[in-house]
Structure 1
Amino acid sequence: MYVRQHNITIFVAEMIHNDTIVALATPSGAGAIAVIRLSGIDAISTASSLFHSVSKKKLENQKTHTVHLGHIKDGDRVIDEVLATLFKNPNSYTGEDVVEISCHGSPFIQQEIIQLCLRSGCRMAQAGEFTLRAFINGKMDLSQAEAVADLIASDSAASHQLAIQQMRGGFSSEIKLLREELLHFASLIELELDFAEEDVEFANREDFQKLISRITQVLKRLIDSFATGNVLKNGIPVAIVGEPNVGKSTLLNALLNEERSIVSDIAGTTRDTIEDELSIGGIGFRFIDTAGIRETTDTIEGLGIKKTFEKMEAAQVVVYLFDASLLGSKNTHSTSQTSPNLVGDMSQILIEIEKVKNRFPQKQLIVIANKSDQLSTHEIKQLSASLNTLNGLHHLLISAKTGEGIEELKTRLLDFVNTGALRNNETIVTNTRHYDALLKALEEIQKVQSGIDSNLSGDLLAIDIRQALYYFGEITGEITNDDLLGNIFANFCIGK
């Protein structure tokens, strides 16, 4: 059935409203312990019928937020010795009666207890149903509920901090405040329509103008923050590119400190992209080892090179690698052991770097001279002088084989990330759905601004204000529907 409360429309099936659900709340598989969660109107009575306390006390008679030692029994058969934790409504995660059974982590024991609960009248929880019930029961708004999934999926300090901030209501509080202020003025304008014949003005136009200007600034700031938030949440893609056999795979292995990519003296070894992630300074980076760029008649290698350019297009940072050892005295015909013509030898490399720079002008580009361990001190100085001619491009000398310069490279990569907002605990948008709603809200607010400038009548202004309020409400769940909820909670894991 549909339930309407305070302008909230939510589809709530009778089975969700009345059923008691059960699910494994910890990862499946063997472990030291497992937690089985029950929530619903019969959660405590169901658990009590299966749980036999060592103190002989009935579970339903105990205080909320208490833990009890006992046994789960199927008739006279003991399944396991467990701890039962009691949470009585409304002081629980879901806002309903909740019991969490901590048992030993045997998959057999887990299934035995869950089957007992099912036979006692529970049903299996759907993906995200515990959090859905928390939202329905007013324990959190929709943006906070989405942050629960982000928190579970966080794999770096930055993504964890963003999820925690959103789950604690930082983002939704800002949106709610704007919505309340706009709703206040909308009510005054609607009231004016009731007294249209008297030509009464309840909404002070000057104050209203100030509010619209402030809302516009806040929306633009939140929208702009998405570029930062998206990469902090999902990791910053870094494409490692260059000609074959310059050490791209060795560099990837050095960054990850493991043999992730095959290394060979044979040119064209990497024919497909290899990706892996690494956290640097709490920020996630996704490194992509690509096929070497060169002219080739090999069909498979050609497909790999095509994919290299696709990955460069998708990357935020491009690391262009070249083999500096080919420029050294050991690999030139120069008769001088102290002054080989490195500047001349660099000319073709500089041309290739310019090609990459011109093809991807918006990308952060780092030029790296690899195998510096094979150069003399004088050659390194000459090479550095040549790289300094790259019009301010970031450049670095490293040896992926020995690890020299790897830490400096990590520091350079961190410099590309704008972590100021994160350090200052500012609101950062990370959710695509929120970003889309903010864009639509800004569009409506700009229509309101245009209407004010054109002295539009209150009834026309009210239309655009209502639309802006709608998009604000979509973010926090004050306005929603079952399709939206289904899409959001389908991405949750079972048991959460």
Structure 2
Amino acid sequence: MSQIPDLNKPASTKEETIVALATPNGTGAIGIIRLSGPDAIAIANSVFKGKDLTQQASHTIHFGNIVDGEVVLDEVLASVFIAPKSYTRENVVEISCHGSAYIIESIIKLFIRQGARGAKPGEFTLRAFINGQLDLSQAEAVADLIASNSKASQQVAMQQLRGGYSNQLKQLRDQLVTFASLIELELDFSEEDVEFANRGQLKQLVVDISKMINQLIQSFELGNAIKHGVNTVIAGRPNAGKSTLLNALLNEDRAIVSHIAGTTRDTIEEILNINGINFRLVDTAGLREATDTIEAIGVQKTLEKISQSALLLYVFDAEAMTGADVALDLENLLHPGVPVVAVANKIDLLSDGKLAAGFNLPAEVELITVSAREKQHIDQLKQVIYNSAVQGKLTGNETLVTNIRHLEALQKTEQALVRVLNGIDNPITSDFLAMDIKQALHYLGEITGSVTTDDLLDNIFSKFCIGK
């Protein structure tokens, strides 16, 4: 059963004060212990020797000692945040102590003895959501921001955290709610056979919303690539120079290189960051008729990786390969929707005449010539790789869907809106039309959290780290 989050939560989630380490586990210079809840300031103050924290203004920091009876555990800084001006909209105290695992554990145990409870994964952000500080998509953006490992993934998460995505969905939902209300009003006057909701205006609104929903759905491919990295497979025949190319792109000797064909038997995966985007490079075994069982397994893995790729770098020996050879390889490698870059390698060994003759490639395949061994044109190749994945798609201001849960909700919203349009074009009664509009509203609400279930919240926040 769906429900709208409010502040009337059980004592176990609203009235208890929780505590956890907010910085990573392990020894470091500083550790930050976070308390949140109605008694956070009082609990911290009961073991803090310095200023009376209960009398201090919000957003202030105070030096003092944390003591357990007569024993001083550490010299600390206590940061005070008074509700509702805090991350969780509750009273919050953050204790900055030395990063000793023993000190941190001792202070947390002391707070628990004073009445706090150990926080569950994501419970601070869950409280921020329950208390209206964040909507659900913004809360998920917090986890994405923590996990971001590139400039682009950080920017996308930050844009979502700031509400760009949420605001866009709220505008769509508010417009639909207006028409849903008018349709409901028609049901109250069904005997009079009147229409309060202009069907022409409703149809135009649904068309406009469907267009925006479709744009968000289409953005998932890029958003998911930015979040997780672009799966980029390096494939080609044995001895084409795939491993040498991987080493050149990474600027390190990551893969074993040999003149003996079939050196690479298993896949090698590494991360290459280009202009803030992570590309997950996968060096694969050479494509040929295998000569032994182990090589056969390697070739099978190569084919599997190619089928899963978001970008394919087809590497071939420009000196040894003919145009017919390249065409045959590409015929087997091309997959709908997967960009392919043909990398003509070993141009340092190539005669000027053959280089000028070129290779007859399909229009959708971009060709670049390199010498992986001599590291010629490697920077140009990196730019081609970047352009193939994201050129023209990423401006820094657009809304990108990065979450599979959001994608599924948007797809269900789109299906409901199609039913609404069909109901307008092939007139159906107001009650059926209202039902389809409600379905669209429900799925949009699932994204921002205006419609949730306890199971959904448990699933989302259980994936957060403890302390956030």
Give the TM-score normalised by the residue count of structure 2.
Answer: 0.95
Say which of 312, 332, 346 aligns to 1:356: 332
Deviation at 1:190, TM superposition (A): 0.7
Alignment CA distance shift 1:348-1:10 (3 Å): farther
The residue correspondences of 1:366-377 to structure 2 (distance < 5 A) are 366-375=341-350
- Out of 229, 232, 235, the residue aligned to residue 238 of structure 1 is 232
Counterpart of 1:175 in structure 2 is 169
In the TM superposition, what is the alpha-carbon distance from 1:394 to its structure 2 partner?
1.5
Structure 2 match to 1:48: 45
Q: Which amino acid aligns with 1:20?
A: T
C-alpha separation between the residues in 2 aligned to 1:109 and 1:463? 58
- CA separation of 1:10 and 1:430: change in aligned 2, threshold 3 A: farther
Match of 2:437 in 1: 465
Within-5 A mapping of 1:421-460: 421-423=393-395, 425-460=397-432
Query: For 1:233 and 1:157, how far apart are their aligned partners in 2?
Result: 10
Q: Cα deviation per residue 1:409-431 (whole Å; 9 max; x = unaligned)?
A: 10101111335353151211111
Q: CA deviation at 1:477?
A: 0.4
1:332 counterpart residue number: none
- Whether the 8 Å CA contact 1:244–1:294 is kept in 2: the answer is yes
Residue type of the partner of 1:364? Answer: P
Q: Structure 1: which amino acid aligns with 2:345?
A: N
Structure 2 distance, partners of 1:171, 1:263, is 47
Distance (Å, rounded) in 1 between the aligned partners of 2:13 and 2:356: 67
Amino acid at match of 1:131: T
* Greater C-alpha radius of gyration: 1
- Cα distance change, pair 48–145 in 1 and its aligned pair in 2 (3 A): same
Q: Does the Cα contact within 8 Å between 1:142 and 1:476 map onto a contact in 2? A: yes
2:339 maps to a residue whose letter is: Q
Tell me which residue corresponds to 1:414: 386
Using the alignment, how far apart are the partners of 2:6 and 2:355 within structure 1?
67
- 1:314-352: CA deviation from partner (whole Å, max 9, x where unpaired): 112111112345x4xxxxxxxxxxxxxxxxx62553244
| Structure 2 unaligned spans of 5+ | none
Render the CA deviation track for 1:11-61: whole Å, top value 9, x for unaligned: 9443112221111111111212111111111111111112112xxx20111
SS at match of 1:447: helix
Change (3 A) 1:3 1:97: farther
Q: Does 1:149 align with 2:146?
A: no
Residue 8 of structure 1 deviates from its aligned partner by: 4.1
| Aligned residues of 1:372 and 1:380 also touching (Cα < 8 A) | no
Shift of 1:273: 1.0
* Separation (CA, whole Å) in 2 of partners of 1:185 and 1:49: 55
Q: Which amino acid aligns with 1:491?
A: K
Taking the aligned partners of 1:69 and 1:10, their CA distance within structure 2 comes to: 34
Deviation of the 1:138 alpha carbon = 0.4
Q: Is the 8 Å Cα contact of residues 3 and 11 (structure 1) preserved in structure 2?
A: no
Structure 1 residues 122 and 264: CA distance shift in structure 2, 3 A: farther
Identity %: 53
Partners in 1 of 2:349 and 2:353 — Cα distance?
13
1:98, distance to aligned residue in structure 2 (A): 0.6
- 1:64 to 1:245, Cα distance in 2 relative to 1, 3 A: same
- How big is the shift at 1:65? 0.3
| Match status 1:395 vs 2:367 | yes
Q: What is the rounded CA distance, in whole Å, between the counterparts of 1:140 and 1:483 in structure 2? A: 19
The answer as to whether partners of 1:36 and 1:114 remain within 8 angstroms in 2 is yes
**Runs of 4+ with deviation above 6 angstroms:** none
Comparing 161-170 and 417-426, the one that deviates more? 417-426
Q: Which amino acid aligns with 1:180?
A: D
The residue type paired with residue 390 of structure 1 is L
- Matched with 2:160 is 166
Aligned residue type for 1:394: E
Question: Aligned AA for 1:316?
Answer: A
Moved more, 417-426 or 164-173: 417-426
> Gapped runs of 5+ residues in structure 1?
328-344
**Residue 83 of structure 2 is aligned to residue 89 of structure 1:** yes
* Equivalent residues of 2:80, 2:93 under 8 A apart: yes
- Give, in whole Å, the separation in 1 of the partners of 2:176 and 2:288: 59
Instruction: Find the residue that maps to 2:30 and give its secondary structure.
Output: strand
Q: CA deviation at 1:361?
A: 4.8
Letter in structure 2 aligned against 1:85 = S
Matches within 5 A, 1:33-432: 33-53=30-50, 57-324=51-318, 327=320, 346-347=322-323, 349-357=325-333, 359-375=334-350, 379-387=351-359, 389-392=360-363, 393-423=365-395, 425-432=397-404
Question: Is the counterpart of residue 474 in structure 1 residue 446 in structure 2?
Answer: yes
Residue deviations 1:62-81 (CA, integer Å, cap 9, x gap)? 00000011111111211111
Cα distance in 2 for partners of 1:350, 1:237 equals 23
Answer yes or no: is the 8 Å Cα contact 1:3–1:12 preserved in 2: no
Q: Tell me which amino acid in the other structure corresponds to 1:445.
A: L
C-alpha distance in 2, partners of 1:95/1:433? Answer: 26
One-letter amino acid of the counterpart of residue 360, structure 1: H
Q: Kindly report the root-mean-square deviation, in angstroms, between the aligned alpha carbons of the 2 structures.
A: 2.0
Amino acid at match of 1:206: G
Q: 1:185-243: per-residue Cα shift (whole Å, max 9, x none)?
A: 11111111111222332222222222112111111111111122111221111111122
Partner AA of 1:366 in structure 2: V
Measured in 2, the distance between the counterparts of 1:298 and 1:13 equals 64
**Aligned-partner SS, 2:389:** coil
In structure 2, distance between residues paired with 1:464 and 1:10: 30
CA distance in 1, matches of 2:270, 2:10: 43
Aligned length: 467
Task: Give the secondary structure class of the aligned counterpart of 1:461.
Answer: helix
1:237 touches 1:287 (CA, 8 Å); kept in 2? yes
Q: 1: CA distance between counterparts of 2:449 and 2:421? A: 26
Give 3-state SS (helix, strand or coil) of 1:238's partner: strand
Q: CA deviation at 1:266?
A: 3.4
Contact in 1 for aligned 2:7/2:131 (Cα 8 Å):
no
* SS of the residue 2:269 aligns to: strand
Partner of 1:338: none
1:463 alignment partner, SS class: helix
**2: CA distance, partners of 1:16 / 1:486:** 12
